[in-house]
Structure 1
Amino acid sequence: MLRRVRLAVGTQPPGVGVPRDYRGVGARPADDPVGLFVERLTDYRASAYRCGADEVGGAIARILGERGRTRICVPHGLPARWTAPGWQVIGGGAPPDPVALDAFDGVVSGCALAIALTGTIVLDSGPGQGWRAVTLVPDYHLVVVRAEQIVPAVPDAVARLDATRPMTWISGPSATSDIEFDRVEGVHGPRTLDVLVVAEGR
């Protein structure tokens, strides 16, 4: 089959380079990437919170308490100071059981980075992020994003990410409007997404 394709294509001139000058199209100056990221999150119906670097554990406990989430799982590698006794750490070599994950009230994780312009959070299964199923099966997800992890736009994110890693790109709670244009949430992942943005000086 490939031989037939090569014969049909024949000798072709080198491909033309694709212009990459779209970075600023439709974007306002990223003088406040954290503020822009939070604004985009709320556009997607996610809830955004802010705290200082030494307040993460208390902020997580407060958010979970307000949500009434008590049975929590966390991926291996999440900082212990962010967790509470009784939470189950999911890790190791074997993939987690989706049925067992579904029994949790929610998951708390970190992220690889976030994108201000699109309000997107990227997970790459690194420490504190774990198996993709851990953050896709539970109906609630609380993500901790450090301010220094927020990049201005998608090209900046692509330049920093390792394309060989399994990635999940999250823009708001899971939802689809494919069926009769009615928004249905919780189809492909958590129905509720909370994001805790951590920055010095808040």
Structure 2
Amino acid sequence: MSSRERILGRVRRALADVRQDEPSYDQAVPRDYLREHGDRSVGETVDLLAENLADYRAVVHRCTAEDLAATIAGMLAARGAKTVLVPRGLDLEWLQATDAERIADRAESTAHELDQVDSVVTACAVAVAETGTIVLDGGPDQGRRRITLVPDHHICVVRVPDQVVSSVPQALERLDPGLPLTWISGPSATSDIELDRVEGVHGPRTLEVVLVGGQSSADVTS
């Protein structure tokens, strides 16, 4: 008997006493929880996102669409980045003001090769204000999951207010569960039993989020 057959056999035995008319999981679990907490305006929702991102030690910037290329160029220059990884569907106008060498996202790139890249720039699928979370779904302007996990510096562009929602339930309504979803709340970090925080263990050590909307260029936090 294979391991697969053994596991499926245990599942069948565990379900042996379940009636055929038993409600399905979707029907049995109540879905009457709050879809969002509080009544916020669009501006307040974006402000909450910026506040919670900063709480997670992400560096947050705000700029207009016209200022985006200059903002990204300034962030790369401040980082001393000489190379930047570019998803195949990223708007190249975002990078027109930087002198950093553009590295194309290639399926055959190894983890070692990606680790040599200074920075990666992506868009996002949606951003959740209440949790300070950005979600990537592997779209053309976001690229494969590994390109946002291996390089040490990730710049993520969020279009506001179009890509900002208040809550996780609202985000789930926009996302396709069949896609490779990556939920990011700040730079990668973990703590040992003595609560010593270590960053960059299983993702970028530095996360910078650019909120692109109608406001003038200004950092929320650094």
2:148 to 129, 135, 144: 135
Question: Residue 89 of structure 1 corresponds to which residue in structure 2?
Answer: 104
The 5 A counterparts of 1:1-202 are 1=9, 2-10=11-19, 13-14=22-23, 16-24=28-36, 27-31=37-41, 32-83=44-95, 84=98, 86-91=101-106, 94-147=107-160, 148-202=162-216
Do the aligned partners of 1:144 and 1:196 also contact (CA within 8 Å) in 2? yes
Q: 1:189 to 1:3 in 2, by over 3 A?
A: closer
Aligned residues between the structures:
198
Residue 64 of structure 1 and its aligned partner are, at CA, apart by: 1.3
Q: TM-score, normalised by structure 1?
A: 0.91
Residues in 1 aligned to 2:15 and 2:121: alpha-carbon distance in whole angstroms:
50
- Consecutive unaligned residues in structure 2, runs of 5 or more: 1-8, 217-222
Moved runs in structure 1, 4+ residues, more than 3 A?
Answer: 8-13
Preserved CA contact (<8 Å) 1:96 1:133: no
- The whole-number CA distance in structure 1 between the counterparts of 2:38 and 2:78 is 34
Counterpart of 2:69, as a letter, is G
TM-score normalized by the length of structure 2: 0.83
Q: Residue 167 of structure 1: CA displacement?
A: 0.9
Superposed displacement of residue 95, structure 1: 4.3
Cα distance in 1 for partners of 2:169, 2:77 equals 37
- Partners in 1 of 2:124 and 2:193 — Cα distance? 31
